[in-house]
Amino acid sequence: MEQENELDAVAKYWGDHPVHSVEFHPGSDLREYCNQIDRLRWSDNERWAQRFYDFQLPQGSTVLDAGCGIGVCSRYYARKGYKVHAIDIAPAAVEMTRRSFELFGLEGRVTVGNVESIPYPDNSFDGLVSNGVVHHTPNTEKAVDEFYRVLKPGGLALRCVYCRNALLRPPLWVLTRRLLPLLLKKKAGREGMLSVCTPEELVRVYDGDGTPIAKLYSKAAAKQLFHHFHVRAMAPHYFPARFLRRFKPGGWTHRMLDATCGTLIYFLLEKPVQGL
């Protein structure tokens, strides 16, 4: 019962607060809203992590976007010619993704679904993407098991989870915590980031002050989370420079921080073929 209540809270929060709604308020022009967020994601969040998304599967391969949000990755893969299926626990997010497909003339199947109980048979997909999702669900291990179940043997998956980087570990965390109020731009809906006491609290309020669940992983713990898979690539990425005062994103300093103090650990994973 407690987990059901947690899932309800997760669904309600992300339905009321679509991803990036702190930066861009959903308005009547869904096309422009999606364009703004797509540009932001591929020019900032995924600036140096895009290699993890390039599965290089044949056109027509089936890809699941597990926890699609407003459809950034779903649109990306649909434009590459993949057969896209997308699920999200928030009906409002599903509706926005579905409408965006119609607006942009894309094909895909978008339905309400929970990553802890994916509504597809075993071995359904050639590729699977789940960007920043499993650290927001109550039973992360169950979600990872579901990813393994629905991916075909030899299939590829992109996952990322919050990273306990050097700035979020002793001894640097003491300094990080003191500097946050001085360095961060004040943003309505993210005021909690200015007064956090722990790294866990920081990642919980990162997507908005009311985010119900967010988990933080060391590299070793994240790798253990995906232990059933073969790890093709693993690296930290995404240092959110746009949140900082007097910092120009995109330069060599940003790239160095992205590689050393990225807030997400990205994984490109392969489901082993039995017997190999």
What are the Cα distances from residue 13, in Å, to 8, 66, 251?
A: 9, 17, 34
| Residue 143 within any structural domain of the chain | yes
Give average pLDDT by consecutive 10-residue segment, the chain, 276 residues: 80 89 79 92 92 93 97 97 97 95 97 97 98 96 98 97 96 95 88 94 92 96 96 96 89 95 97 76
| Residue 276 within any structural domain of the chain | no
Count of other CB atoms within 10 angstroms of residue 170: 8
| Residue 168 within any structural domain of the chain | yes
| Residue 40 within any structural domain of the chain | yes
Query: Which sign, positive or negative, has the C-alpha torsion 47, 53, 59, 63?
Result: negative
The one-letter amino acid at 166: A
| Residue 214 within any structural domain of the chain | yes
Show the tokens assigned to 14: 């992300």
CATH assignment at residue 248: 3.40.50.150
251 backbone dihedrals φ, ψ, rounded to 5°:
-85, -170
Q: What is the C-alpha separation between 268 and 264, in angstroms, rounded?
A: 13
Per-residue confidence (pLDDT) for residue 2, from 0 to 100:
62
Per-residue confidence (pLDDT) for residue 199, from 0 to 100:
96
The total number of structural domains in the chain stands at 1
| Residue 100 within any structural domain of the chain | yes
Show the tokens assigned to 193: 């980031």
CB distance 22 to 208 below 8 Å: yes
Give bridge partners of residue 88 from the DSSP assignment: 112
Cα radius of gyration rounded to whole Å, the chain: 18
Residue with token string 């894309």:
106
CB distance 226 to 146 below 8 Å: no
DSSP secondary structure letters along 81-96: T-EEEEEES-HHHHHH
Look up the pTM and report it. Answer: 0.94
Q: Which domain holds residue 127?
A: 2-270
| Residue 275 within any structural domain of the chain | no
265 backbone dihedrals φ, ψ, rounded to 5°:
-100, 120
